[in-house]
Amino acid sequence: MADVEKKDTVIVGAGPGGYVAAIRASELGQKVTLIEKSDTLGGVCLNVGCVPSKALIQAGHRLEQAKDASTYGISTQSATIDFKQTQQWKQTKVVDRMTSGVKMLMKKHHVDVVNGEAVFLSDTQLRVMPTGEKQFMSTDTGQTFEFNNIIIATGSHPIEIPGFKFEGRVVDSTGGLNLPEVPKEFVVIGGGYVGTELAGAYASLGAHVTIIEGTGSILPNFEKDMVAVVLKKLKKKGVEVITNAMAKSSSQDDQGVTVTYAVDGKETTIKADYCMVTVGRRPNTDTLGLEYTKVKLDKRGLIEVDQQGRTASEHIWAVGDVVPGAALAHKAFAEGKTAAGAISGKKTANDWTSVPAVCFADPELATVGYTQAEAKDKGLKVKTSKFPFAGNARAVSLDAPDGFVRFVYTDDENQNVVGAQVVGPEASTLAGELSLTVNGGMNVEDVALTIHPHPTLNEPIQEAADIALGFPTHI
């Protein structure tokens, strides 16, 4: 076995949590080594997740607009799509550009990037082997590192369900993002964030899409009145949504795939060009050798951490999809900064209350802090106020009047905003202001007195605050 190299701060995984932790640790004076098993930086989100999916969603919106702009009195010729060119644009102009940017940032911050797979030998040592090498203990290849501190940021992987092995025309979200053509018929199993986003994207690109969801509704993490707005738009796109349905099996040939599902015990088959399975993800913790450390896992394989990201092992930290909480890139960003700061002795801590959750459906949805039901479960007495985008000039001029902004605030003299939801145009962008409102402990009067520019999509935030004060303006 090769000699042991001593390292200051080691980070395993170059996704959102890992590379951001590397930057912050370097800025705080730590000497950082970043270990990544793939040949690109940025993790799932940047390479095969949230970033390329938004590129396809945008392409779908553009195609829809090009096909029919009659609402604006504009006549267009029949629009077509060269999907190979779309995929090339997504990869070279979006993904490759962003991953090269992360690579540049690592160089700028003097982060030593090591390619390979890591496995722990103890609470202070790990072995890094060439990617795909399984014989960690018996080969002389690879490197052994002894570290002062280490941050685990290895992310997660898609769940594969029985009867739907990821091969051929049955794909996970990565395969769904890289289809060689727009399918005529597309089946999506799982109506969560990813499934709903890509179902909408491919419907916009011209596919007939069927969503098979095991629960009573798609997007079960959002409130029903928000989801109703999305369902209305999906129906307009021709998307079929089948709920309370259990996917049973699949069979495929060179021409397509047949999916069998059951509702109330009655089995039905549906034929499609491709079937994408998006029923959740599992943390990448089972092959790290954590059994050789003091790190504790919960029953889902997630690493137990404190508010700074510290595990049960004093010098081992964890962030992102491998720890409890929502699997969100921006949550991983924040956790990476917190852990890097804690290693440097900063009094940092994670506060997940105001973490915004966003789904880039059509229209977009976002929620921050507590819903009304969650607030009541916490023992808070709350009220809500809601302003519709139909009363907003900018939304109407964009032909996007569906949806609303809602505040959840305490039913007392303070009227503190403890939560907010928005469904409608640019909800993802509006979530930033809503997160600031909740995180800053602002009350509805603070928001109402903040002058918002006109005509803009964030005016409904101020309008919802006005309603909470009992002085509605444009409703």
Domain edge (last residue) among 314, 343, 372? 343
Give the residue among 317, 322, 312 at the shortest CA–CA distance from 15.
322
Q: Which amino acid is at 208?
A: H
pLDDT score at 132: 80
Q: Are residues 291 and 315 in the same domain?
A: yes
Q: Are residues 15 and 116 in the same domain?
A: yes
Check if the beta carbon of residue 153 is closer than 8 Å to that of residue 12. Answer: yes
Tokens of 464: 């919802």
pLDDT in tens, 449-468: 999 999 999 999 999 999 99
pLDDT in tens, 112-125: 999 999 999 999 99
Prediction pTM value: 0.95
Q: How many residues does the chain have?
A: 475
The Cα 26–Cα 337 span in angstroms is 11
Q: Are residues 180 and 294 in the same domain?
A: no
Please list, in sequence order, all residues whose beta carbon lies within 8 angstroms of the beta carbon of residue 65, skipping any fewer than 6 positions away: none
- CA triple 169-173-177, angle to 5 deg: 80
CB atoms near residue 233 (< 10 Å): 17
The Cα 200–Cα 181 span in angstroms is 16
Q: Are residues 13 and 133 in the same domain?
A: yes
From 61, 315, 454, 474, active-site residue: 454
Domain edge (last residue) among 261, 279, 297? 279
Residue at 350 is within a domain:
no
Q: Are residues 314 and 338 in the same domain?
A: yes
Q: Are residues 255 and 319 in the same domain?
A: no
pLDDT in tens, 220-265: 999 999 999 999 999 999 999 999 999 999 999 999 999 999 999 9
Q: What is the CATH number of the domain that holds 419?
A: 3.30.390.30
Cα 459 to Cα 192, 227, 465, distances in angstroms? 29, 22, 10
Q: Residue 379: which domain range?
A: 357-469
- Paired sense of beta strands 125-129 and 117-120, if any: antiparallel
C-alpha dihedral (452, 374, 298, 287), degrees to nearest 10: -40
Residue at 349 is within a domain:
no
Cα 288 to Cα 67, 147, 172, 199, 284, distances in angstroms? 50, 16, 23, 34, 8
pLDDT band of 175, cuts 50, 70, 90: very high
Alpha helices for 93-252 (secondary structure H): 96-108, 173-177, 193-204, 224-236
Q: What is the CATH number of the domain that holds 99?
A: 3.50.50.60
Q: Are residues 109 and 225 in the same domain?
A: no
Count how many domains the chain has.
3
pLDDT band of 128, cuts 50, 70, 90: very high
In the block, tokens 């969650």 appear at: 374
Domain edge (last residue) among 279, 299, 330? 279
Residue at 288 is within a domain:
yes
Q: Are residues 10 and 151 in the same domain?
A: yes
Give the 3-state secondary structure of residue 394. helix
Mean of per-residue pLDDT scores for the chain: 96
pLDDT in tens, 399-420: 999 999 999 999 999 999 999 9
pLDDT score at 140: 66
Q: Which amino acid is at 22?
A: A
% of the chain exceeding 90 in pLDDT? 96
Concerning whether 315 is annotated as a catalytic residue, the answer is no
